[in-house]
């Protein structure tokens, strides 16, 4: 099973600043990596797929990068609505076992 590790566990950033979230896979997942945002009491929302492609309706301040085992989600000019928990997820494993990272909580500094 591919293990996904996210860092840091909690990130404190001021509104208007940039946030950088990391995700590492225990073995290569190529570019089959997605990022999700989850706010309290809500279902997750797809932000990024294919490591770097924004999903429909996702603002341009969200960007994803990386391939293989190292991935980054960058959020520029943080808005109040961006403070949430972010999960990375790989979908490269076969047979499929779509493992998630443990999440990074982005909080207001």
Partner 1 sequence: EEQLVESGGGLIQPGGSLRLSCAASGFSVSNNYMTWVRQAPGKGLEWVSVIYSGGHTYYADSVKGRFTISRDNSKNTLYLQMNSLTVEDTAVYYCTRESASGIQSYGMDVWGHGTTVTVSS
Distance between CA 55 and CA 109 in Å, rounded? Answer: 27
Residue 2 binds to partner 1 (criterion: CB under 8 A): no
Q: Looking at 29, 48, 73, 75, which residue binds partner 1 (CB under 8 A)?
A: 48
Closest approach of partner 1 to the CB of residue 86, in Å: 11
DSSP 27-77: S--TT-EEEEEE-TTS--EEEEETTTEEPTT--TTEEEEEETTEEEEEE-S
Q: Looking at 29, 66, 78, 89, which residue binds partner 1 (CB under 8 A)?
A: 89
Closest approach of partner 1 to the CB of residue 61, in Å: 19
């Amino acid at each position: 099973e591919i293990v996904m590790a996210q860092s840091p566990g909690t990130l404190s950033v001021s509104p208007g600043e940039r946030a950088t979230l990391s995700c590492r896979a225990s073995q290569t997942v190529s570019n089959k990596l997605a990022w999700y945002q989850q706010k309290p009491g809500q279902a997750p929302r797809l932000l990024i797929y294919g490591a770097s492609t924004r999903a429909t309706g996702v603002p341009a301040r969200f960007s994803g990068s990386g391939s293989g085992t190292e991935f980054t989600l960058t959020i520029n000019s943080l808005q109040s609505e961006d403070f949430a928990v972010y999960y990375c997820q790989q979908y490269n494993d076969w047979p499929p076992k779509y493992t998630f990272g443990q999440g990074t909580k982005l909080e207001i500094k």
